[in-house]
Amino acid sequence: MNQPILEASPFLPRWAEITRIEKLTENEKLFEMHLVSGEPLGHLPGQFVELSVMGIGEAPISISSAPRENGAFELAIRKVGNLTTAIHNAGIGDKVGIRGPFGTHFPVEETKGKDLLFVAGGIGLVPLRSFIHFVLDHRNEYGKVIIFFGARNPSERLFLDELDQWSTREDIKYFDTVDRGDANWTGNVGVITTLFPKIHIDPSRTYCAVVGPPVMYRFVILEAKAKGIPDRQIFLSLERRMKCGIGKCGHCQINHIYVCQDGPVFKYSDIFDLEEAL
């Protein structure tokens, strides 16, 4: 008798193998992985996975890479607790559990033919990088591209080689800043909103994608709106509140929405009246 084919359960992780590790800062590492099954992860920019280590636990982690033909995906992970410490201690060839991908994604189709302004604060560059990579992989399908990146200090800047590449590309405009410089820093010093006066945009055709610490959102939104960008063309990620990833634990509930199910990527026009969200 043929055995019934079981549908994939959102509660059951798939095995993934670590195939490359790159140190980004003293506290962050980038892990490239492949699903052991050989299938692609099947994600879109802005989505996340639940990463698990047997015997320790699991946590939601942003996917930091655009979809690739070879099925590889990247997770940039900050060491902050038992689970992330275990991942930081892992090596190439080690296996971890992956559930997902989960959640909403950045508007990769809606923004085709439009101009894009990316605003990343600190580790917010991790999820936004997936959208940036997607756009750069399909560069001729999008209009002007502007990237803002802000960090607290030079030592916390992520993906340094990529930042250097973006700064020299002629088909994008890249600006960065740090809250506090050091003896070797020659760039802009100040919060990320100090970069807005440096650009000129057509607000009717510009979409703004914002990811960063909670304190950043209100001020960046004010600057984007001052540039004339409509609320419906501003997108935010609120992933900081998530836990289980499938709307069961209630940890990410904000009034009537569940961030892990209704987000983590939201259109600002849909949440502007949720004070708890920003």
Could you tell me if 256 and 276 are in contact, meaning their C-beta atoms sit under 8 angstroms apart? no
Please, what sign has the CA dihedral across residues 212, 216, 217, 221?
A: negative
| Location of structure tokens 């002629």 | 170
Per CATH, the number for 115-277 is 3.40.50.80
Tokens of 180: 């506090």
| Domain range summary for the chain, segments of one domain joined by + | 14-102, 115-277
- DSSP for residue 132: H
Which of 53-62, 78-87, 266-275 is predicted with the least confidence, judged by mean pLDDT? 266-275
Alpha carbon distance 212, 148 (integer Å):
11
**Of 258 and 166, the one with more pLDDT:** 166
Per CATH, the number for 14-102 is 2.40.30.10
Cis ω before 264 (30° cut-off from 0) = yes
The predicted structure's pLDDT at residue 175 = 98
Which residues partner with 117 through β-bridges?
A: 146, 208
Residue type, 100: G
Could you tell me if 267 and 230 are in contact, meaning their C-beta atoms sit under 8 angstroms apart? no
pLDDT in tens, 76-113: 999 999 999 999 999 999 999 999 999 999 999 999 99
pLDDT at 5 over 60: no
